[in-house]
Chain A
Amino acid sequence: MGNFYKDNEDIQFLFRHLDLDKIAQLQEEDFRYAKDFDYAPEDACEAKQNYEMVLDAMGRLSADYIAPRSEDIDQEGNTLNEDGTVSYAKGIANALNALAKANVMGFTLPHRFGGLNFPNTIYSIAIEIVSRADASLMNLFGLQGIAETINFFADDDIKQHYLPDFAAGKVTGSMVLTEPDAGSDLQACKLRAFQDDDGNWYLHGVKRFITNGCSDVLLVLARSEERIGGLGLSLFVCDRGPTIKVRRLEDKLGIHGSPTCELFFDNTPCQIIGERQRGLVTYVMSLMNGARIGIAGQSMGIAEATYRVARDYAASREQFGVPIEKLPAVRDMVINMKMAIEAGRALLYQTSWIVDHEIGLNKIIERNEDKDSVKATRQELKFIKRLAGMLTPMSKYFCSEMSNTVSYDAIQVLGGSGYMRDYACERHARDARITTIYEGTSQLQVVAAVRGVCSGTGEKYLAQLAGKNYADSVKDLTKLLAEGTDTLLKAAVFVKEQGVDYMDLYGRQIVDMAIALIIGYYFCDQASSQVDMEVAIADNGDAEAPKTIPMVKRKEIIARRYITRNAALIKSLAEEVFSGDKTTFKEYETLIGPVPEIA
């Protein structure tokens, strides 16, 4: 009888530490839905109780029902049948059914469509928990942004048509964007959308690498205009049917339970979402931002799963007469894994919170009940929007890279055993590998994030974080963070002076510095938390040693190690930036030589 929520003290701590009252109030629009829906909360206290009960149930489902199926899912994969339909691995089909019965397939959808109307912060936690059980299932559970995109941008009759089925778990969706010649560069999409004389829309062309392309409902990015570029693209919704053929299922390194399809649309009837020409620039951008948060959550779940295997092994495997976790090199790896996970979690949950804040402020403006408050809200929204735009790619980048590092180290801790199929670590490493690639590569996340850092958003946010009240125990650390911020801002000025190419060349260094500082502040904030929670200390054989420690004390130790170690890293990253080295541009051909012939 496991529980992936209840066995994770860090998640439970953050659940209490984050200001969920505010998010609940925004999400429930001052709790106006309680009178119409018997399951909608009456106040923030009840909302939080709801969130926690559902996470608890999902924790149980993930541990007892989904996780035991993950090995078979990985081995079985999906099947492309002769008639062009796709059968999910048995475990995936079972799990989807269980998730539908648990009412969690409309996690963030409004009550009126049968959704739970939960905030993204709670959705991120749920995605992490589900992904820990089976990473590939996240690609189905975590695709709820498709329904959310319909909810945000489609006409009401389209919403009424699709959303109740999404919320009931009767249908799944897919976001159909990528084409053979349009991957990272979606502006190059060619799939054609055209109208007949009556104005009905149809789709014609090929899409590739489509996660769950065999879904019931497809959101398709297509060229509806003669013009080239992003403004020639609109977004359409269509149902699975005989005019959509799954031509191929990809044979992948990991996430075997998630079917990746090549699709051919043969004059498929469809409906337009929102307005023409806004497909990529508005709707897909919004969809992708949600999906990036989802991938960050998936990355967290994989990292947590593989860390636990490694930790268990480090404590039980004996070499040289001691458990290997007594050896300095192994100890260090295990601590770094654990801390990297808590760092990623802090960043992801805080980012999700800010995304919820943005959505909530938008709702206040839409309701337009009080002119003065709308004006003030617009003002507040401006910065929150920019902040969400910076933190979202940061979370996706940091968590997915972290997940790969942790998966790599987990195998290292297990040594030869880690390389074998007998342990789940090799599966986790294969599953983690995609996270830095899809929904925008790490390189593209850095491009998006570095603009935020260099445009003043980073500076303003770091100043906000520096201005918070911290416990005396971490005051010295906030000084280190302030020094680091100075260094970062100087580096940001320097790259801007060098031009956009230089900014992209040294983007990773700038973004790494900014993330280290932001997470440093988050850890200080956690170490200053009012949340009263005792957590267990591992037994080191000393009977006199304390058995528990307050979480805030533990977080202080984490903050200290994280910030002092990163202070050195920030200096070294800055020096790389200040070096002015442009050999990447000037000497590429010389250093790399001609393209090799591949036999």
Chain B
Amino acid sequence: METKSVGYDCVVLVKQVPDTKRITGQAMNEDGTVNRAALPAIFNPEDLNALELALDIKDKFGGTVTVMTMGLPAAADVLREGFYRGADQAILVTDRRCAASDTLATSYILSCGVKKLNPDIVLCGRQAIDGDTAQVGPQIAEKLSLPQITYVEELISLDGKTIVAKRNLGNGWQEVKAELPVLLTVLDTANEPRVPAAKRLMKCKAAKSRLEVEALAAEDDCIDVDATCEALEEKDLLIKQWDLDFLEADLKWCGRDGSPTKVHRIQSVVLAAKETKQVESSQTAIESMIHELIVDHTIG
């Protein structure tokens, strides 16, 4: 079996999301879906924490960091951001047949991508601010039969093939030990993401995917797509572009066909406590409260 002498190969799964903190009047379409055009597209915040943790591992132990995203060609923006912060390689999984994928299909497609890379550590943000499901990371781990440590707040140790991380469960902590390869989902409290490094900004702003080069070539006859991509690849600035054929993905698990989730209705629910009630901390008071909740069908 091949053993790696130094460092860890990390894959960070990132997502371009609409900036839901800047909601304006036109943020939702009539049918209740998100109007992505009206909101600025940003690097999903917790994915930056995942990337920072990967870069931190690389700084301490050596190795490589690959950023991967599934999305439209425009998602190359977040991959460039990854380059600016220190990623060595960027992969854009893009294919029309990915459209309408729910978390199940997305995690299947991304797991095919991760499999190609065979990394030591897969890192994801805990959840994306558009869907807030926190499902894709865990589903990928399941599909690849990897151990997973979710809600990671701190990397306690990384020694040979053993990782120990601290999970924050909201009401307490757990220290979890696992054997590599492993998948982590990372919390925003884990670290403060670094800013882009100036020299990387200056160098990597030229990074492009083949689709982007083709778009430029359509405007400018002087651009030779193959030659430009080759030149970019030589400088490690070509954003790799993988489609479902390259991933050898089974199409029945991708896109609309692979997505059992159906949005039935979208409703704006405003939760407001109309009245509060103090319950005494005694056995009888709690029993009477539970009884009350069962009677009005809140529980049970």
User: Is the pair A1, B21 in contact by a Cβ cutoff of 8 Å?
Assistant: yes
- In the complex, B196 has a CB within 8 A of chain A: yes
Q: Complex: how many Å from CA A85 to CA B21?
A: 45
Q: Look across to chain B and name the residue whose beta carbon is closest to the beta carbon of A105.
A: B198
Q: Look across to chain A and name the residue whose beta carbon is closest to the beta carbon of B236.
A: A38
User: Is the pair A41, B202 in contact by a Cβ cutoff of 8 Å?
Assistant: yes
**Chain B window 64-105, contacts with chain A (Cβ cutoff 8 Å), 1 for yes, 0 for no:** 000000000000000000001000000000000000000000
User: Is the pair A103, B197 in contact by a Cβ cutoff of 8 Å?
Assistant: yes
Write the nearest CB–CB distance from B274 to chain A, whole angstroms: 31
B195 interface neighbour in A38, A40, A101, Cβ under 8 Å:
A101
A54 interface neighbour in B21, B194, B201, Cβ under 8 Å:
B201
> A87: which B residues are within 8 A, CB to CB?
none
Chain B, 190-247, CB within 8 A of any chain A CB: 192, 194-203, 205, 235
User: Is the pair A50, B195 in contact by a Cβ cutoff of 8 Å?
Assistant: no
- Given A38-B235, A49-B205, A53-B205, is A101 in contact with B194 using a C-beta cutoff of 8 Å? yes
User: Is the pair A53, B195 in contact by a Cβ cutoff of 8 Å?
Assistant: no
User: Is the pair A39, B202 in contact by a Cβ cutoff of 8 Å?
Assistant: yes
Q: Complex: how many Å from CA A40 to CA B202?
A: 7
Chain A, 38-73, CB within 8 A of any chain B CB: 38-41, 49-50, 53-54, 57-58, 60-61, 65
Max count, chain A CB within 10 A of own CB: residue among B195, B197, B235: B195
- Given A1-B21, A38-B235, is A65 in contact with B195 using a C-beta cutoff of 8 Å? yes
- Given A1-B21, A38-B235, is A98 in contact with B201 using a C-beta cutoff of 8 Å? no
Chain A, 412-445, CB within 8 A of any chain B CB: none
B interface, size bucket = 10 to 19
- In the complex, A175 has a CB within 8 A of chain B: no
User: Is the pair B201, A53 in contact by a Cβ cutoff of 8 Å?
Assistant: yes
User: Is the pair B196, A65 in contact by a Cβ cutoff of 8 Å?
Assistant: no
> B203: which A residues are within 8 A, CB to CB?
38-39
- In the complex, A116 has a CB within 8 A of chain B: yes
Q: Complex: how many Å from CA A209 to CA B87?
A: 43
> A40: which B residues are within 8 A, CB to CB?
202
> A58: which B residues are within 8 A, CB to CB?
195
> A98: which B residues are within 8 A, CB to CB?
194-195
**Chain B window 132-171, contacts with chain A (Cβ cutoff 8 Å), 1 for yes, 0 for no:** 0000000000000000000000000000000000000000
User: Is the pair A50, B196 in contact by a Cβ cutoff of 8 Å?
Assistant: no
- Given A38-B235, A65-B192, is A104 in contact with B202 using a C-beta cutoff of 8 Å? no
User: Is the pair A104, B198 in contact by a Cβ cutoff of 8 Å?
Assistant: yes
User: Is the pair A116, B198 in contact by a Cβ cutoff of 8 Å?
Assistant: yes
- Given A1-B21, A38-B235, is A102 in contact with B202 using a C-beta cutoff of 8 Å? no
Decide if the interface of chain A is mainly helix, strand, loop or mixed.
Answer: helix
Q: Complex: how many Å from CA A65 to CA B52?
A: 15
Q: Complex: how many Å from CA A116 to CA B194?
A: 19
**Chain A window 190-230, contacts with chain B (Cβ cutoff 8 Å), 1 for yes, 0 for no:** 00000000000000000000000000000000000000000
User: Is the pair A102, B195 in contact by a Cβ cutoff of 8 Å?
Assistant: yes
> B194: which A residues are within 8 A, CB to CB?
98, 101-102
> A102: which B residues are within 8 A, CB to CB?
194-198
User: Is the pair A39, B195 in contact by a Cβ cutoff of 8 Å?
Assistant: no
Q: Look across to chain A and name the residue whose beta carbon is closest to the beta carbon of B59.
A: A101
Write the nearest CB–CB distance from A73 to chain B, whole angstroms: 16
User: Is the pair A54, B192 in contact by a Cβ cutoff of 8 Å?
Assistant: no
Max count, chain B CB within 10 A of own CB: residue among A39, A50, A65: A39
Write the nearest CB–CB distance from A144 to chain B, whole angstroms: 13
B199 interface neighbour in A1, A41, A103, Cβ under 8 Å:
A103
**Chain A window 395-424, contacts with chain B (Cβ cutoff 8 Å), 1 for yes, 0 for no:** 000000000000000000000000000000
Write the nearest CB–CB distance from B222 to chain A, whole angstroms: 16
> A57: which B residues are within 8 A, CB to CB?
84, 195-196, 198, 201
Q: Complex: how many Å from CA A102 to CA B197?
A: 4
Q: Complex: how many Å from CA A41 to CA B202?
A: 8
A39 interface neighbour in B21, B196, B199, Cβ under 8 Å:
B199
> A54: which B residues are within 8 A, CB to CB?
198, 201-202
Write the nearest CB–CB distance from B292 to chain A, whole angstroms: 44
Chain A, 260-289, CB within 8 A of any chain B CB: none
Q: Complex: how many Å from CA A298 to CA B198?
A: 21
**Chain A window 75-107, contacts with chain B (Cβ cutoff 8 Å), 1 for yes, 0 for no:** 000000000000000000000001001111000
> A53: which B residues are within 8 A, CB to CB?
196, 201-202, 205
Q: Look across to chain A and name the residue whose beta carbon is closest to the beta carbon of B194.
A: A101
Q: Complex: how many Å from CA A40 to CA B199?
A: 9
Write the nearest CB–CB distance from A35 to chain B, whole angstroms: 13
Q: Look across to chain A and name the residue whose beta carbon is closest to the beta carbon of B198.
A: A103
User: Is the pair B202, A101 in contact by a Cβ cutoff of 8 Å?
Assistant: no
> Can you list 30 A-B contacts (CB < 8 A)?
A1-B21, A38-B203, A39-B199, A39-B200, A39-B202, A39-B203, A49-B205, A50-B205, A53-B201, A53-B202, A53-B205, A57-B84, A57-B195, A57-B198, A58-B195, A61-B195, A65-B195, A98-B195, A101-B194, A101-B195, A101-B197, A102-B194, A102-B195, A102-B196, A102-B197, A103-B199, A104-B198, A116-B198, A116-B199, A116-B202
- Other A-B contacts than A39-B202, A103-B199, 19 sampled, CB-CB below 8 A, are A39-B203, A40-B202, A50-B201, A50-B202, A53-B202, A53-B205, A54-B198, A57-B84, A57-B195, A60-B195, A98-B194, A98-B195, A101-B194, A102-B194, A102-B195, A102-B198, A103-B198, A104-B198, A116-B199
Give the interface of A toward B (CB within 8 A). Answer: 1, 38-41, 49-50, 53-54, 57-58, 60-61, 65, 98, 101-104, 116
- Which 8 A-B pairs give the minimum distances between C-beta atoms? A39-B202, A103-B198, A39-B203, A61-B195, A103-B197, A50-B202, A53-B201, A39-B199
Give the interface of B toward A (CB within 8 A). Answer: 21, 84, 192, 194-203, 205, 235
